[in-house]
Structures are given as C-alpha cells and as structure tokens.
Structure 1
Amino acid sequence: MATVADAWRPTSELEHRLQETVRAGDQESYFRIIADSELVVPVPPDRVDGMLAGEAQPSWPTQEEDGRVHVLVYTSASAMRACLGPSYQHFMTVRFGEIAETWPDNRWWLAIDVPGHGVRAALPIEARLPSWFVRQVAEGDGRPPQVGRASAPWEELRDQHRELPRESPRQEFQPANDVERELLRAAANNDHDLFLQTLAGTEVLLPVPDETDYSMRPGRPGFPWQTREVDGSTVVPVFTSPERLVEAARAAGTGTEFIKLPFSVTLRYWPDHEWLLAVNSGSPAGGTILAQQLPGLATWADQRAAQRMTNGFEPQNDIEGRLFDAARRRDTDGFFTTLLGAQVLVPADPDTPWGIVPGDAGFPWRPVPVHGRASIQIFTSLKWMNEAIGSSRFIMPTLLDMVSAWPDTEWNLVLNPGTPIDATMPGDKVRS
C-alpha cells in the first residue's frame, strides 16, 4: 500500500539536505543541519483568532506518544500539513537554537516532522530527540549515541547503480500542458489578449540559482532574480513547464533550479521598471512582455485574482470578516477604522527580536517593490502572508503603532495583496 512517504518530495533546501543525510545514514550531519535551521511551529486552528486579537500567547504544540510528551515542529509548512492535516494553515517560524533556549520541560521530547494522531503520514526525515540531546545539538555537537556498525554510506550504494538512460530530445514541439496549448494558439494568431489572460490564471516556473533557499519568494528582500541580456535589454525568463525550462537552460548553459508561483505574484513584485519579461524563451508557445506593460498588467492580475476569490472567500479571523464586510459595502472609512485597531503580521528576519515595536531602532522596515513602488507589506493572517511571500518569521505590532512610527513618506503601505481584503495607502497618507 502506498504511503505519504512513498509520494513525499522535499519542498525546501533544508528538506533536500536532510533527505540526503538520511539516505547516507549520516545522523550526525542530520543533526548539525537541524541545529542551524529554522523550523515551523504549528498554531492550532482554535488558537489563531485569540493570537491575532492579542488575547492569547503562542504556546508549544504537543502530543503524547508512548507515555512521553512531544513538542511538534516541522521542516516546512507543507510537511506540517502533510502530518497534521489541511486544517493547520497557521504557524510560527523559530530557529532551533531558540527552541533549545526556551525548552519548556526537561521531561519532554522534540518531534520533527512527526504525524499527528489519526493522520496516516510517515515522512522519511522525521526524528525524535530527548531534551538533553536538543541542548547538545544546539551547542554544536550533533553526535548521537550509537551502537553496532553503521550501514554503507549513500555514495557507495549510488556507485553500484548504473545511470538511467536519458530520453533523446524531441525535435517537434509538443505542448507540455493545456496552458502551453493556449499560448501556442495565441502566439500563432498574434492574440495578445488571449496570451495574457491565459498566463494570468496560471502558475509559472521562475529560475533561481543553485542552493537557493526554497522558502524565498519575490516578495521578500534579497530575492535573487535571474536575468540575461538580449539585444541590450535585461530580460527575466519564466516558464510554464519543466520541459520549457530545461530546453532553455540547455540552450543557454544555465541551471535548472526553479520555484513555482502564481504568475500574478511574479508581476506584483517586479523588481525593475526597465526589465522585460520573457515567457518560454525560444519556444513557439512563448513571447516577451514589454517593460512599460508590466505595471498595469500587475495591477490587473491582482485585481483579477481578488475577484476570483471573492465568492468563496473564507476570512481567517474576526478582523478579516469585518474587513470583508466593509470591502463589499465599499465602506472605506469602516475598513480602515477596523484595520487601525488590529494587530497585523509584519515579515521579519529570523534574528529579529520577539517583542520589538515600530519605534525601536531594529524594527524590520524592509520595503520591497509592489506594483513598481517601494512598499511595506502587512497581513492580517498567516495564510495570506504565506501565499504572498512564502514561509517567514513575523512580528505582530498594531497598525496604529506602525503608522505612528512610519519612517518614510516615499513608501506605500500594502495590505494582503491579491485578496478581496487588500488595500494600498500612499506613504504621505499613512500618518493621516
């Protein structure tokens, strides 16, 4: 019978590295990697509203196994949902060292990527650590107790197998999916509207350098956009299938690493108003979008995404329910009055101190381009933050505290982009 482990694939660089150590039987390297990692701590669905309203503090999620209490943590949001079920949408990210420093009970164990009760999941990178070993790993010593003889390392096993034969490249173009069939039809008929409408509702593959953190997304500072020069213009390539990406990479001699994200997200965070966007470079199902088209296209794509979500929109908490009602009534004053008194999620670096407030010197004012303008992004729930920028550490000030300390009138304030409860406020209007 197939299990989750049979179909499981790593979704982050951390999980790729852990998988390699498990395959190699290298437990020490596994724990050394864990010691330097940032882990996902689930927030139970019944505690989300209380935390966002400031009425409840974060707590360690636990479950009992074989008479021991285990603290549950995960290597990614995907691993968390595979092990706990789809109702778990919210989480915090905490570095392993912080977990060790704030460990709640010496009798408790740490469970990494372990399934919840009643969930049929078994990830191959799961681990259980007693509290004393948690501290040892955090101090830099990843050597576990060991008896018997270790199994052969993965490199030895790998050398015993022949490389699988590779399929010869196909000479005639074959669309890899329905999106490419529509793009091919649009390109053949020179139908720009069909080309853009087809892309607006799909996901694309965005190339990234080797060893890129898989949690990185364009909406976070420092994202490594990959570009190339074509006829004196800087171009960012995106692709609609792995086949198109591999074809272009072979032709250009570049790597094949990528992240997958909605086309609208790529447009929203476009980094430079002079760069062009190339879709499926060198393919009959491709085309180039000019730089001057991108800002308007980005706004349209986000509006389209928000409209598609409206009918089935599910507010994640009471604040979002009130914002959604105000948005449907077009009650701008009511919308911002509700928002002003709420706590919001602000993306932060892993080393940002807990409890920091907007007036402090180290507060993470880190603007990113949103629709071509430097912006500070805020969110009213983890769901919209994760969908926009991926897994990230965050802090939770009130919006009132943020606008009172707003540092730069050139920065826009952007709320929940691409959702039915989104909003943008120019910097010179924020304090008013």
Structure 2
Amino acid sequence: MADAWRPTSELEHRLQETVRAGDQESYFRLIADSELVVPVPPDLVDGMLAGEAQPSWPTQEEDGRTHVLVYTSASAMRACLGPAYEHFMTVRFGEIAETWPDNRWWLAIDAPGHGVRTVLPIEARLPSWFVRQVAEGDGRPPQVGRASAPWEELRDQHRDLPRESPRQEFRPANDVERELLRAAANNDHDLFLQTLASTEVLLPVPDETDYTMRPGRPGFPWQTREVDGSTVVPVFTSPERLTEAARAAGTGTEYIQLPFTVTLRYWPDHDWLLAINSGSPAGGTVLAQQLPGLATWADQRAAQRMTNGFEPQNDVEGRLFDAARRRDTDAFFKILLGAQVLVPADPDTPWGIVPGDSGFPWRPVPVHGRTSIQVFTSLKWMNEAIGSSRFIMPTLMDMVSAWPDTEWDLVLNPGTPIDATMPGDKVRSLGGPPARDPATP
C-alpha cells in the first residue's frame, strides 16, 4: 500500500517533497543527478556471478510500451518487485541516458511489477527523448499548447514578413567562422584545417534519422551532393550556414553535431570530397586524396591534447596509458590481450556470443580510409567515438584467435592517448603461433 511506504534515503525524501509541492522540474533535476538501482532478475544472478551471463536492462510491458525498470533504492526495488529481487546494480542517470537501448522504450522509475499492489508516490515514467533531455540538465517537463505571445512580440511580428532587401554582407555566426574567414582570405590552408580540427561541425542527416546513429557505425546515412561531376559531403560550422546551403539546394535542415575529427576518421569513400560551409566565404573543399592523412593527423592531435589531463576509466586503461607513455609496445599489447574489450553490437545480439560463433558482430567500418574492426576499453571512449550502442565484452585474445579477415585492421580507442591500430595480417600473430597438429606415430 502507498500509505505503508516510507522514504529510505535523502533522495527519496527530497523526491517526495517535490511531488507534494507539484514541482516536476525539481523532481527531474534530482533524478538527473542521482544514482539509481537497476534490478538483476533472480534467474540471472547465478550466471552473472559465475561470469557466464552479462547484465541486461530489466523491462516490463505496460499499455503496449516497453519500460526499463529502475528504482531509487534497494528498498523501493523490493517493495515494487517483491523479496525475490535481492541483487542489483547501481548506475548513474547520465549513464543510463548514454547507453539507452531503444528509442521506443520508456524509463519507469519506482514502478510496481506485474501483480504487485504496492504503489510508490514518487513513481514516474519518461519517454526516451525526455530521458536524454533530463540528462543534459533540462528538467522542464513538456508543455501542451503554446503560451500567449506578449504584446511586444505581436506588435513586432510584421517585421518578420518577407520583403525585398539587398543581400546582407556575410556575418560569421561564431568565433570558428571568423577564424575560417580569416584563413580563407589569406589563403592559409594550415590555419583553416587547424581551426576545424578543434571544433565541432554539423553533419546533415535525413529527416527521422535515429539519433543514436553516428559515423563509425554500419549504415550511417551520409548525405552527398554532386558538384561538377564529383561527389561531395557537406559539413557546416553553424546552423546559419547549414540553413543557407539547404535553402539553396532545396534539402532538409536536420543534422547531428559531432567533432570534426570524428567526421574525418570515419570518412566513407576514397573518392568523395569534403565541403565545409558550401557557398560561404568561410568555406572550402578538401580533396579526397588529402582526407586519410588529414584524419590521422587530426586524431593524433586530439590524442596529444588529451594526454596531460587524461583520466583512465579503469585499471586496464591506467596500465595501457603507462605503457603508451613509455612507448613500450610489447607491454601495451600484452596488457590488452588479457583484457576484456567493448565491441559494438546490434540490439538483438545475444549476450553470450563469442568471437568464434557464426553470429558474432564483426562490423567493419572505414577508419582512416581502411576497413577496420573497432574495440574499446571503456564505455566513455566508445560513446565518444560512435555514440550510444549496445555492446558485448569478449577478451581481445578471443577476438584475435578468431580474426576473420586479414584485410581488416584492428583499431582500439581511436583519438585517445591509449589508441592503437594494427594491420589485419599482424593481428593473428598477437595470439602467438598457431597450434600444431600432434605428430602421428
């Protein structure tokens, strides 16, 4: 019964106060900064403790929707799911948002399980897009309708009506465009590229594109244009430049924002050109043959800039970083071979799959112009490289032993101080010489 429930933590006390006050925004701000309890179903506990199963999101179907179940405390979890639920993981809300498994799913906070009559007064349900919004620091719940415009806005609306006017002088939208304009005016190619290497760009995508899709994942929908017989991929340094180009070309204005280095790293085709701010004085074109070398330079530059403040995410990364600083390649790969790595996978990939299985997610993508398999040593570097993705965690030794194609490179943590690339023909040698057949008498 709801009357029998009592808060068991400071978080729950404060959430209850916001509910009583009707302050939804404060409720979601508290949730955004919290660490939540993710139940481990009783039938998975033994397998997880034995290392034979990996954790998965606990879900429940309600009203035709799939909800991911999380709780504000272990006590709340047991009140809502029953005493059989004894084991759990704690995950920060921000990490839940980063690794969200499916755009169609909702998040249920302190929701009762099927057949459980307990109802907590701090229960909430959030659609996936609102989960991301809350994680980004905006706890304002969605509003219905449109607020009335103030008189000043109504009075001045006539100023927005279309009218004939002379073409305005180009105005940079930000400091990046001011630097690009200066570089273009002085024909300073180095300054132009160095400015871009340190910034984020807007990459056009089709309408209704899955927000989790990023370059570096199979199937990313690169948008191209044909210019003078060449295929060009446009990128932009502000919404203003993108909108101008879209109007001129009659295309859409949807985009994703990501580091310029990521765009270069995963360039999809050796023959495609890169156009920055098409039709703008603060723009330019990079030829196809320049892109692989430029991508490598940009990632090396990014890794160098990260080195001083680099924070390893786990013990393996700390040891890899130490070996990298000592330039001890042998030690680096010896550490790596004994470690588990994160391998991006499709949502329906079975948890227990191993590299030798036929359905293992070998998902080659172009990295620096070469077909590659990417692996990561922590969730942070995977998310920064390719966005939120389902993953599995084999050991690198198992992957090396089952490496399927010597034409595929192995790429580790690209763009970080603990990155590495190894050609496919050398990957298998990491595991040592192949076992010999026993001699026959």
Superposed pair shares fold, TM > 0.5: yes
User: Structure 1: how far apart are the matches of 2:423 and 2:30?
Assistant: 42
User: Structure 2: how far apart are the matches of 1:287 and 1:86?
Assistant: 64
User: Structure 2: how far apart are the matches of 1:152 and 1:17?
Assistant: 35
Asked if 2 retains the 8 angstrom alpha-carbon contact of 1:13 and 1:211, the reply is no
Asked if 2 retains the 8 angstrom alpha-carbon contact of 1:208 and 1:226, the reply is yes
Asked if 2 retains the 8 angstrom alpha-carbon contact of 1:90 and 1:382, the reply is no
* RCO comparison, higher one (Cα < 8 Å, 6+): 1
Flag the 1:69–1:222 CA change in 2: closer, same or farther, 3 A.
closer
User: Structure 1: how far apart are the matches of 2:282 and 2:13?
Assistant: 32
**What are the equivalent positions in structure 2 for 1:28-43 lying under 5 Å apart?**
none
Asked if 2 retains the 8 angstrom alpha-carbon contact of 1:25 and 1:150, the reply is no
Greater displacement, 124-133 / 368-377: 124-133
Which blocks of at least 5 consecutive residues in structure 1 are unaligned?
none
User: Structure 2: how far apart are the matches of 1:160 and 1:419?
Assistant: 49
| Number of corresponding residues | 429
Return the TM-score normalized by structure 2.
0.67
Flag the 1:314–1:29 CA change in 2: closer, same or farther, 3 A.
closer
Asked if 2 retains the 8 angstrom alpha-carbon contact of 1:12 and 1:213, the reply is no
Mapped pair 1:103 → 2:103: no
Asked if 1 retains the 8 angstrom alpha-carbon contact of 2:53 and 2:351, the reply is no
Q: CA deviation at 1:51?
A: 9.9
User: Structure 1: how far apart are the matches of 2:361 and 2:96?
Assistant: 22
Asked if 2 retains the 8 angstrom alpha-carbon contact of 1:26 and 1:153, the reply is no
Q: CA deviation at 1:159?
A: 21
Flag the 1:252–1:355 CA change in 2: closer, same or farther, 3 A.
same
1:24-47 Cα offsets, whole Å, 9 max, x none, are 999999999999999997999999
Q: CA deviation at 1:111?
A: 2.2
Q: CA deviation at 1:127?
A: 3.7
User: Structure 2: how far apart are the matches of 1:218 and 1:83?
Assistant: 40
User: Structure 2: how far apart are the matches of 1:164 and 1:236?
Assistant: 33
Mapped pair 1:263 → 2:260: yes
Secondary structure of 1:431 counterpart: helix
Secondary structure of 1:362 counterpart: coil
Greater displacement, 147-156 / 260-269: 147-156
User: Structure 2: how far apart are the matches of 1:233 and 1:18?
Assistant: 58
Flag the 1:152–1:74 CA change in 2: closer, same or farther, 3 A.
farther
Asked if 2 retains the 8 angstrom alpha-carbon contact of 1:28 and 1:142, the reply is yes
User: Structure 1: how far apart are the matches of 2:145 and 2:427?
Assistant: 65
- Structure 1 equivalent of residue 166 of structure 2: 169
Flag the 1:282–1:163 CA change in 2: closer, same or farther, 3 A.
closer
Secondary structure of 1:89 counterpart: coil
The structure with the larger Rg is: 2
Greater displacement, 13-22 / 217-226: 13-22
- Structure 2 equivalent of residue 332 of structure 1: 329
User: Structure 2: how far apart are the matches of 1:9 and 1:210?
Assistant: 46
Flag the 1:356–1:60 CA change in 2: closer, same or farther, 3 A.
closer
Q: CA deviation at 1:314?
A: 0.2
- Structure 2 equivalent of residue 52 of structure 1: 49
Q: CA deviation at 1:171?
A: 1.6
Flag the 1:187–1:56 CA change in 2: closer, same or farther, 3 A.
same
Mapped pair 1:223 → 2:220: yes
User: Structure 2: how far apart are the matches of 1:343 and 1:160?
Assistant: 60
Asked if 1 retains the 8 angstrom alpha-carbon contact of 2:52 and 2:352, the reply is no
1:382-429 Cα offsets, whole Å, 9 max, x none, are 000000000000000000100000000000000000000000010000
Asked if 2 retains the 8 angstrom alpha-carbon contact of 1:90 and 1:383, the reply is no
Secondary structure of 1:165 counterpart: coil
Flag the 1:286–1:362 CA change in 2: closer, same or farther, 3 A.
same
- Structure 1 equivalent of residue 183 of structure 2: 186
Asked if 1 retains the 8 angstrom alpha-carbon contact of 2:101 and 2:390, the reply is no
User: Structure 1: how far apart are the matches of 2:191 and 2:3?
Assistant: 39
User: Structure 1: how far apart are the matches of 2:403 and 2:272?
Assistant: 30
Structure 1 segments (4+ residues) deviating >6 Å: 4-56, 59-71, 74-110, 113-126, 129-170
User: Structure 1: how far apart are the matches of 2:156 and 2:35?
Assistant: 33
Counterpart pick for 1:306 among 291, 303, 306: 303
